[in-house]
Chains A and B, each alone.
Chain A
Amino acid sequence: MPLINQLLANGLIAGAIYALMASSFSLIFNIVKFMDFSPGAIYVLAAFAAFFFNIVLGLNFFVALILSLIIVSLAAIVINKSVYKPIRERKGSNFILLLASFGVFLIVTGIILLLFGAQVKTFGLPIEKGYDIFGALITKTQILLIVTSLVLFFFLQLFMKTTKLGKSMRAVADNREIASTLGINVEKTITITFVIAAILAGVAGILVGIEQNIEHSMGFIVVIKGITASIVGGVGNVPAALLGGFLIGIVENLGILFLPSGYKDAIAFLILIIFLLFRPQGIFGVKTREEVSG
Chain B
Amino acid sequence: MKEKILRIENLEAGYGELKVLKGINIEARKGDLVAIIGPNGSGKSTMIKSIFGLVKPTKGQILFKGKKITGKRPDEIVHYGITYVPQGRLVFSTMTVEENLEMGAFILKDKSIVKERMEEVYKFFPELKEKRNQRATFLSGGQQQMLSIGRALMLKPEMILLDEPSLGLAPMAMQDIFRKIKTINKQGTTVILVEQNAHLALAICNKAYVIETGRIALKGGKDIAKKQKVKDLYLGH
Chain A contacts for B106, CB-based, 8 A: 164, 168, 171, 182-184
28 A/B residue pairs, CB under 8 Å, sorted by A: A164-B106, A167-B95, A167-B103, A170-B92, A171-B92, A171-B95, A173-B94, A174-B92, A174-B94, A175-B92, A177-B54, A177-B74, A177-B86, A178-B86, A179-B103, A181-B74, A181-B75, A182-B78, A182-B83, A182-B103, A182-B106, A183-B106, A291-B88, A291-B90, A292-B88, A293-B88, A294-B88, A294-B164
**Distance in Å from the Cβ of B60 to the closest Cβ of chain A?**
21
B235 within 8 Å of A (CB atoms): no
Chain A contacts for B133, CB-based, 8 A: none
Chain B contacts for A184, CB-based, 8 A: 75, 103, 106
Residue contact B95 to A174, C-beta cutoff 8 Å: yes
B141 and chain A: residue at smallest CB distance:
A292
Interface centre among A164, A177, A180, A181 (most CB of B within 10 A): A181
B151 within 8 Å of A (CB atoms): yes
B117 within 8 Å of A (CB atoms): no
Within 8 A of B (CB), among A49-88: none
User: A170-B95, A183-B107 are known contacts. Are A292 and B74 too (CB-CB below 8 A)?
Assistant: no
**Distance in Å from the Cβ of B87 to the closest Cβ of chain A?**
7
Residue contact A171 to B103, C-beta cutoff 8 Å: yes
Residue contact A167 to B73, C-beta cutoff 8 Å: no
Please classify how large the interface on chain B is, using the bins under 10, 10 to 19, 20 to 34, 35 or more.
Answer: 20 to 34
B100 and chain A: residue at smallest CB distance:
A171
Residue contact A182 to B73, C-beta cutoff 8 Å: no
Residue contact A180 to B75, C-beta cutoff 8 Å: yes
Chain B contacts for A167, CB-based, 8 A: 95, 99, 102-103
CA distance A175 to B192 in the complex (A): 23
Chain A contacts for B102, CB-based, 8 A: 164, 167
Chain B contacts for A164, CB-based, 8 A: 102, 106
Chain A contacts for B207, CB-based, 8 A: none
B215 within 8 Å of A (CB atoms): no
Chain A contacts for B79, CB-based, 8 A: 183
B40 within 8 Å of A (CB atoms): yes
Partner of B151, one of A182, A185, A294: A182
Residue contact B84 to A294, C-beta cutoff 8 Å: no
Chain A contacts for B213, CB-based, 8 A: none
Interface centre among B78, B83, B103, B107 (most CB of A within 10 A): B103
B104 within 8 Å of A (CB atoms): yes
A174 and chain B: residue at smallest CB distance:
B92
Chain A contributes a number of interface residues (CB within 8 A of B) equal to: 24
Chain A contacts for B99, CB-based, 8 A: 167, 170
B52 within 8 Å of A (CB atoms): yes
Residue contact A289 to B87, C-beta cutoff 8 Å: no
Residue contact A183 to B75, C-beta cutoff 8 Å: yes
Residue contact B107 to A292, C-beta cutoff 8 Å: no
CA distance A293 to B163 in the complex (A): 11
**Distance in Å from the Cβ of A240 to the closest Cβ of chain B?**
13
User: A174-B92, A184-B103 are known contacts. Are A293 and B75 too (CB-CB below 8 A)?
Assistant: no
A175 and chain B: residue at smallest CB distance:
B90
Interface centre among A182, A186, A293 (most CB of B within 10 A): A182
Within 8 A of A (CB), among B139-164: 151, 164
Within 8 A of A (CB), among B53-106: 54, 73-75, 77-79, 83-84, 86-90, 92-95, 99, 102-104, 106
CA distance A148 to B115 in the complex (A): 36
Residue contact A180 to B88, C-beta cutoff 8 Å: no
B200 within 8 Å of A (CB atoms): no
**Distance in Å from the Cβ of A131 to the closest Cβ of chain B?**
41
CA distance A289 to B94 in the complex (A): 11
**Interface readout for A150-190 with B: 1 if CB under 8 Å, 0 if not?**
00000000000000100110110111011111111110000
**Distance in Å from the Cβ of B134 to the closest Cβ of chain A?**
14
CA distance A72 to B54 in the complex (A): 33
